[in-house]
């Protein structure tokens, strides 16, 4: 199905400030192609800002972001974002369009597919997330979990080289979290490069190749899940884990 | 003196109504609809431009829109219509003669655009920030994201307020009368006014009033119906309350 290879992602020394408020203070994160990095940390630590710096929804003030070994900061940001899929906490589906049209809109307008090809691609993607039967529905008539799966399908239909997940299950009712997480796990399994900002420690432990703990705008500690969850070095991380686990 | 017969002589003189009815239909109604429709179209187009400028992140685009809105919302409509209609007439008469219609439509449109611009702006601003963010994350430019995702949603939310504005335009079109119209250009109010002066009673004006109601009342009900559907179709959001207040303030 996939025709585009997942790419590696390398974030080095990225800084970003809102006015005088330095949110990112030199973030380093390396995600080899096909691997999944989970980013954990307290709210306000800069996790969501980091994702937006990677796809340049927010422009970094310093540092570099490399996709497949090449810096992405000098090129056209709109073109860059076509290579990076993003999934949001609040889904952000377009409520005035049907589920199918949510997926076909970027395919037609950005990938320049004709209507027929776009529909075929969109239906195939909806099928993969188990929602082919909802193609004609409005997002507002779907459950949160279904909406998030549509949002994932919309991002995947663009054939991204990297996927970013910004607390994708935080706005979901507890019983709907599992379906979305298992879809994300499948995607990781299939070899997508993923950066997952999450509060789901179980997911991070099970699925991540690497877990990065952020606090105050830097990655304080990172490593394989066992290291982070079972033998954390930094006191700050140990304190954080004692609060969330 | 019998009050009833006095009132009925003034307002219900069937003969003078019947006499003016054909002209009211063929000239008055047609001209009112032309004036209103033309300024609805122009005012909506210009209003969208004003809204988009007002939402720009660039100050030199935002400011002209702000000043424009302040001026045309702040002046009495009749003053704007006279200033533009009479003031520009010496210039424009080289193009289309002393015809006051184009300038009347221009003045009505400029006034409408100030209100409609504010309606669009508030509607567009009420669309969640995440919508543009999601569009941009997919690879849409700011312009495409606004055009394909944000503006369609914003406009949908303010349709009731927009129709209210259209109703106001139907009524305000009567002010063009102050520019002096040829017999064939007279709209509903002017025809009613002329016939009332000739007949010495107000029945033709009452008839003109009925014509206005025939246009505006269905529009009002359309808005209410639409408003209700919007509210029952989805939960009332804070923005909707603001928009209704805005629509109300425009009256």
C-beta neighbour count of A30 within 10 angstroms:
15
**Mean local confidence (pLDDT), A27-52:** 96
Contact call for residues B28 and B186 (beta carbons, < 8 A): yes
Q: Per this entry, what is the length of chain A? A: 245
SS3 A104: helix
Any idea which residue has 């928009």 for tokens? B243
What six digits make up the tokens of B251?
């009256």
Q: What is the pLDDT of residues B42-91, one digit of tens each?
A: 999 999 999 999 999 899 999 999 999 999 999 999 999 999 999 998 88
- Taking only the tens place, the pLDDT of each residue in A7-23 is 999 999 999 999 999 99
Chain B residue at shortest CA distance from A105: B148
pLDDT at A159 over 50: yes
- B130 to chain A: nearest residue by CA? A92
Contact flag B136-A81 (C-beta cutoff 8 Å)? yes
Interchain CB distance below 8 Å, B137 and A81 = yes
Question: What are the chain B neighbours of A105 within 8 Å (beta carbons)?
Answer: 148-149
One-letter-per-residue 3-state SS of chain B: CCHHHHHHHHHCCHHHHHHHHHHHHHHHHHHHHHHHHHHHHHHHHHHHHHHHHHCCCCHHHHHHHHHHHHHHHHCCHHHHHHHHHHHCHHHHHHHHCCCCHHHHHHHHHHHHHHHHHHHHHHHHHCCCHHHHHHHHHHCCCHHHHHHHHHHHHHHHHCHHHHHHHHHHHHHHHHHHHHHCCCHHHCCHHHHHHHHHHHHCCCHHHHHHHHHHHHHHHHHHHHHHHHHHHHHHHCCCCHHHHHHHHHHHHHC
As a whole number, mean pLDDT of residues A68-80 equals: 92
pLDDT of residue B10: 87
Q: Which residue has the higher pLDDT, B133 or A1?
A: B133
pLDDT at B97 over 90: no
Per-residue pLDDT for B3 more than 60?
A: yes
A185 CA to centre of own chain: 12
Smallest Cα distance from A231 to chain B, Å = 36
- Least Cα separation, residue B162 to chain A (angstroms): 19
Q: How many Cβ contacts (< 8 angstroms) between chains A and B?
A: 58
Average pLDDT over residues A116-124: 96
The confidence score (pLDDT) of residue B183 equals 85
Nearest to A88 by CA among A143, A31, A146, A155: A155
- Token pair 């919309």 is found at A154
Higher pLDDT, B227 or B142: B142
Chain B residues with at least one Cβ partner in A under 8 Å: 128, 130-131, 133-141, 144, 148-149, 152-153, 156, 234
pLDDT tens-place string over residues A180-205:
999 999 999 999 999 999 999 999 99
- Over residues A93-109, mean pLDDT: 96
Strand order in the sheet with A84-87: A84-87, A162-166, A193-197, A36-40, A210-215, A218-223
Dihedral through CA A186, CA A189, CA A193, CA A194, nearest 10? 50
Mean pLDDT, rounded, for A72-99: 94
What's residue B248's pLDDT?
53
**Can you tell me the mean pLDDT for A31-50?**
96
Say if the Cβ atoms of B134 and A57 lie within 8 Å. Answer: no
Q: Are A149 and A178 in contact (CB under 8 A)?
A: no
ipTM, two decimals = 0.93
> Taking 50 as the threshold, does the pLDDT of residue A165 lie above it?
yes
Q: What's the CA gap between A6 and A32, in Å, rounded?
A: 9
Cβ distance of B138 and A78 shorter than 8 Å: no
Alpha helices (H) along chain A: 47-54, 77-81, 99-109, 115-128, 144-157, 174-189, 201-207, 225-230, 235-244
Tokens (6 digits) for A129: 């997330």
Count the alpha carbons within 13 Å of A42 in the hemisphere toward its beta carbon. Answer: 13
pLDDT above 80 (res A61): yes
- In this prediction, residue B98 has a pLDDT band, given cuts at 50, 70 and 90, of confident
Please tell me the distance from the alpha carbon of residue B124 to that of residue B142, in angstroms, as a whole number: 14
- B130·A88 Cβ contact <8 A: yes
Burial (0-12, 13-18, 19+ Cβ within 10 Å), B249: exposed
Q: SS3 of A241, please?
A: helix
In this prediction the pTM is 0.84
């Amino acid at each position: 199905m996939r025709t585009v290879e997942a790419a590696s992602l390398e974030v080095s020394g990225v800084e970003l400030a809102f006015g005088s408020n330095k949110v990112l203070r030199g973030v380093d994160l390396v995600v080899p192609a096909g691997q999944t990095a989970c980013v954990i940390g307290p709210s306000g630590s800069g996790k969501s800002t980091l994702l937006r710096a990677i796809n340049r929804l927010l422009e970094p003030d310093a540092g570099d972001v490399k996709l497949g070994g090449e810096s992405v900061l000098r090129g056209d940001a709109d073109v860059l974002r076509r290579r990076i899929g993003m999934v949001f906490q609040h889904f952000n589906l377009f409520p005035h369009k049907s589920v199918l049209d949510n997926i076909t809109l970027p395919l037609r307008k950005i990938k320049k597919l004709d209507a027929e090809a776009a529909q075929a691609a969109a239906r195939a993607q909806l099928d993969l997330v188990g929602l082919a039967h909802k193609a004609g529905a409005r997002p507002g008539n779907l459950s949160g979990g279904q909406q998030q799966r549509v949002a994932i399908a919309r991002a995947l239909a663009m054939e991204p080289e990297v996927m970013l997940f910004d607390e994708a299950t935080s706005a979901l009712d507890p019983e709907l979290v599992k379906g979305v997480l298992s879809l994300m796990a499948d995607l990781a399994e299939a070899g997508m490069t993923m950066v997952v900002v999450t509060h789901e420690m179980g997911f991070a432990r099970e699925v991540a190749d690497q877990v990065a703990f952020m606090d105050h705008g830097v990655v304080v500690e990172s490593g394989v899940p066992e290291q982070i969850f079972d033998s954390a070095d930094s006191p700050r991380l140990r304190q954080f884990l004692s609060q969330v686990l | 003196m019998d009050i009833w017969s006095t009132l009925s002589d003034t307002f219900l003189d069937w003969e003078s109504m019947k006499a003016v009815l054909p002209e009211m239909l063929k000239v008055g109604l047609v001209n009112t609809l032309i004036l209103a429709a033309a300024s609805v179209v122009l005012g909506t187009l210009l209003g969208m431009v004003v809204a988009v400028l007002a939402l720009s992140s660039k100050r030199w685009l935002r400011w002209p829109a702000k000043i424009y809105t302040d001026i045309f919302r702040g002046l009495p409509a009749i003053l704007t219509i006279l200033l533009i209609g009479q003031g520009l007439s010496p210039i424009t008469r080289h193009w289309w003669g002393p015809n006051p219609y184009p300038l009347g439509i221009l003045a009505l449109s400029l006034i409408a655009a100030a209100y409609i611009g504010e309606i669009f702006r508030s509607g567009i601003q009420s669309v969640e920030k995440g919508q543009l963010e999601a569009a941009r994350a997919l690879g849409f430019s700011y312009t495409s994201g606004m055009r394909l995702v944000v503006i369609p949603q914003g406009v949908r939310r303010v349709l009731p307020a927009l129709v209210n504005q259209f109703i106001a335009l139907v009524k305000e079109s009567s002010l063009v009368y102050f520019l002096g119209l040829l017999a064939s250009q007279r709209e509903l109010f002017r025809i009613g006014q002329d016939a009332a002066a000739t007949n010495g009673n107000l029945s033709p004006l009452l008839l003109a009033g009925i014509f206005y109601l025939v246009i505006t009342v269905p529009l009002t009900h359309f808005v209410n119906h639409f408003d209700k559907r919007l509210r029952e179709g989805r939960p009332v959001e804070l923005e909707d309350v603001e928009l209704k207040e805005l629509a109300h303030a425009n009256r």
